[in-house]
Copies of this chain bind each other. A is one copy, B any other.
Amino acid sequence: MTAGTAGTAGTAGTAARPDTAGAAGDEGREMHALVERLYPLCRSITGDGVRRTLDIVGESIPLRVREVPTGTPVLDWTVPKEWNIRDAYVKDASGRRVVDFAASNLHVVGYSVPVSATMTLAELRPHLHTLPGQPGLVPYRTSYYAETWGFCLAENTLAALPEGRYEVRIDATLADGHLTYGEHVVPGRTSEEVLVSCHVCHPSLANDNLAGIAVATRLARRLAGTDPHYTYRFLFAPGTIGAITWLALNRERAGLIRHGLVLACAGDRGHLTYKRSRRGDAAVDRAAAHVLRASGRPHEIVDFSPYGYDERQFCSPGFDLPVGCLTRTPYAGYPEYHTSADDPGFVTPEAMTDTLEACWEITRVLEGDRRHLNLSPYGEPQLGRRGLYGSLGGRSDTKQAQMAMLWVLNLSDGDHGLLDVAERSGLPFHVVADAARDLRAAGLLKELG
């Protein structure tokens, strides 16, 4: 199986990619290659698909993989049985596989129990899931916590099935085992953490969430060796139960999380969407809003709601962590969502690069957002004497950099950080941060704790 083979009507093919990959550069190409490589694996909330995914991510960044046994109590939940699948099909009377797991892992309802039977189409039908409104696409369905089995197929395929008897087989195991997740840590100068989390439980769906995995992996590589202020923790875990398991096993550590981002739907052609944390005004909320606004990107910022990705868990009231969610088009906001059309052709190197860049800029703001004290707060200090200011007065075209210095000096009373300065001044954060650096160098500014 190659990337794109599950692609059907309604999505642009992968053919378009080479033309635009140049603009995205090496990082974009590498991220897309990772998506294509991970795409065929049959991931679920447990099982070898997750393990193989973490193995491949681990080739780019070192991962600490954790195996949590079935039955372990995790917050209000229990780690479920482990599910693995080898093969599955529906054969017609002639022995032809009319629905075939080998063609696409979406064809089997996730966590289906084993079945091996022959039945009429009428008996089979309650186990068949289609999208009547998108008759060419295979839907994605799971049933983690209610033991059942089923197949997903295109409505067109179903419509063409004649009455008669069908051989139905799902060669899967649902048995005690483990839940698997991986962590990568970029150590910082402090134990305060930035969490970057993405789910690794969806099978052949590219935007949801192989693109998120790819962007997170690449972001970790960018941070390597930058000696950051914060410790960056990258969490690759199955959705919901994975985040819950991590939180259950890391209650103390969760208290160290100062900022966090959940990454999902990171590769489609839509614009970026940032969903605020439950707090609504956390530093990461303000940093993301600033980055998106200051960059001039079309974007959307939406309020928190307790539905979506694992921000649901991180923002549950007991934890209430300052974790937002960055996506391009949000879940269920595109027709390809949770269908076979969310294939590698649906995500682009350019889009993933853009998402990566936004993440990077957000980390730049978080890293650089310090409070300072103006050491010469009475009147303006004489910048010209220190070579910080054009010496020929009377001109009205004061430069952005000089405005940034004046703003940093004016607001550095101990109550405002550099992000405050950027927001109030309307200047890009990096200009403000550069001004603060120059003012520190000139002895006019002191960084606070």
Q: A307-B398, A425-B305 are in contact. Are A142 and B317 (CB under 8 A)?
A: no
Assess the A141–B394 pair: CB atoms within 8 A.
Answer: yes
Assess the B394–A338 pair: CB atoms within 8 A.
Answer: yes
Among A141, A305, A392, the most chain B Cβ lie within 10 Å of the Cβ of A392
Assess the A306–B406 pair: CB atoms within 8 A.
Answer: yes
Query: Once bound together, how far apart are the Cα atoms of A322 and B382, in whole Å?
Result: 23
Report the copy number of this chain in the oligomer: 3
Assess the B396–A244 pair: CB atoms within 8 A.
Answer: no
Instruction: Decide if A143 is an interface residue (CB 8 Å cutoff).
Output: yes
Assess the B376–A139 pair: CB atoms within 8 A.
Answer: no
Q: Which residues of B contact A146 (CB under 8 A)?
A: 384, 391-392
Assess the A380–B145 pair: CB atoms within 8 A.
Answer: no
Assess the B379–A76 pair: CB atoms within 8 A.
Answer: yes
Assess the B305–A396 pair: CB atoms within 8 A.
Answer: no
Question: Within residues 370 to 390 of chain A, which ones have a CB less than 8 A from any CB in chain B?
Answer: 374, 376-382, 384-385
Instruction: Decide if A403 is an interface residue (CB 8 Å cutoff).
Output: yes
Query: Once bound together, how far apart are the Cα atoms of A317 and B396, in whole Å?
Result: 24
Assess the B142–A378 pair: CB atoms within 8 A.
Answer: no
Q: Name the residue on B nearest A373 (C-beta).
A: B317
Assess the A384–B247 pair: CB atoms within 8 A.
Answer: no
Question: Within residues 330 to 386 of chain A, which ones have a CB less than 8 A from any CB in chain B?
Answer: 331-332, 337-338, 374, 376-382, 384-385
Instruction: Decide if A40 is an interface residue (CB 8 Å cutoff).
Output: no
Chain A 296-326 interface mask (CB, 8 Å, partner B; 1/0): 0000000101110000110111111000000
Assess the B379–A313 pair: CB atoms within 8 A.
Answer: yes
Query: Once bound together, how far apart are the Cα atoms of A236 and B312, in whole Å?
Result: 50
Q: A306-B406, A319-B379, A338-B394 are in contact. Are A384 and B145 (CB under 8 A)?
A: yes
Instruction: Decide if A4 is an interface residue (CB 8 Å cutoff).
Output: no
Q: Which residue numbers of A lie inside 8 Å of B, CB to CB?
A: 75-77, 110, 139-146, 240, 243-244, 247-248, 251, 278, 303, 305-307, 312-313, 315-320, 331-332, 337-338, 374, 376-382, 384-385, 391-396, 398, 403, 406-407, 409-413, 424-425
- A selection of 22 A-B contacts at a CB cut-off of 8 Å is A75-B379, A76-B376, A76-B382, A77-B379, A142-B392, A142-B394, A143-B392, A145-B384, A146-B384, A243-B379, A247-B379, A248-B378, A251-B378, A306-B407, A306-B409, A307-B398, A312-B406, A313-B379, A315-B410, A317-B409, A317-B413, A319-B379
Q: Beyond A141-B393, A305-B425, A316-B380: 18 further Cβ-contacts under 8 Å?
A: A76-B378, A77-B382, A141-B392, A142-B392, A143-B392, A145-B385, A240-B380, A244-B380, A305-B406, A306-B403, A316-B410, A317-B377, A317-B412, A318-B374, A318-B379, A320-B413, A331-B396, A332-B396
